[in-house]
A and B are shown apart, each in its own frame.
Chain A
Amino acid sequence: MSLDVNKIITESLQTITKDQEVITEDISTDLKNAGEDIKTGSKKIFHKVFGSKTDVMKDELEGQLHKGLNKAEEVGDNVKEGISKAGKKVAEFADEAKEKIVSAGNIVADQVKEHPGVAAATVAAIAAGLGGLALRKRMKKVKEGQNK
């Protein structure tokens, strides 16, 4: 019984870890898309505002804008890295928790191993009880059939 519980917990933790990876990936994609949107939008605004200025001034401003955009992307990458690190920590924590749970499960399993006779007696008793119950149900059906 304890092994089944371990399986369920392990699967749940795996699902959480996978979900966390998907969320990190989603955030990263959103940041990338936001960066692209800013880049496109900024270019449009730049051309609208400075379209009539000289080419030199245009190039200089464009350079500054690119620098700003690069900086923004860098910040975005740092955020992404931070999220990834945090995600890894969560995953590590999940792994630790999983180990602890598995360890606790093993203790229960060991206890069952130490007292296999008692576990077998319990299973045998439950099986016998279900047998008795099945017999009652069958007898009841027979009785009902006779009454009809």
Chain B
Amino acid sequence: MLERVNALLESEGNELVEKHEGVLVEAMILVNDFQKDLKAFVLNNPVEFIGENTEDTFKNIRVFAEVATSQFVSEVSNLYGGIIQEEVVVPGDKGISEYL
């Protein structure tokens, strides 16, 4: 296990992370703050989430939050990944922009 950790720490990826620490921190803050957007959206659009009972309402909010967060992480990764990968071109998922 430790060998794997050491290998990761010594890898080029780690260097990349250290080099662009600021960008990564900004991306992490964005993802962390996304919960506020989610909360605001749910509170502003309660009709979309209210179910037959509390349990159902909770499930509605949970599904919405999980899918939205997943998509947001993907979008932010693509957005900030572009900055980090400016030197190393790696083809991959382009997020929603791929469908536009």
Contacts and interface: CB of A to CB of B under 8 A. Distances in A.
Interface of A: 117-118, 120-122, 124-133, 136-137
SS class, residues of chain A in contact with chain B: helix
B63 interface: yes
B64 A132 contact: yes
A133 B65 CA distance: 9
B48 interface: yes
B58 to A, nearest CB: 12
Given A122-B34, A128-B70, 6 more contacts: A118-B76, A120-B97, A126-B38, A127-B71, A133-B49, A133-B63
Interface residues of B, number: 25
A129 B64 CA distance: 4
30 contacts: A118-B30, A118-B79, A120-B75, A120-B96, A121-B72, A121-B75, A121-B79, A121-B95, A121-B96, A122-B34, A122-B72, A124-B71, A125-B68, A125-B72, A125-B75, A126-B41, A126-B68, A128-B70, A128-B71, A129-B38, A129-B63, A129-B65, A129-B66, A129-B68, A129-B71, A130-B68, A132-B67, A133-B67, A136-B60, A136-B63
Interface in B24-51: 30, 34, 37-38, 41, 48-49
B59 interface: yes
B68 A121 contact: no
A50 to B, nearest CB: 74
Contacts of A130: 48, 64, 68
A147 B64 CA distance: 25
Contacts of A126: 37-38, 41, 68
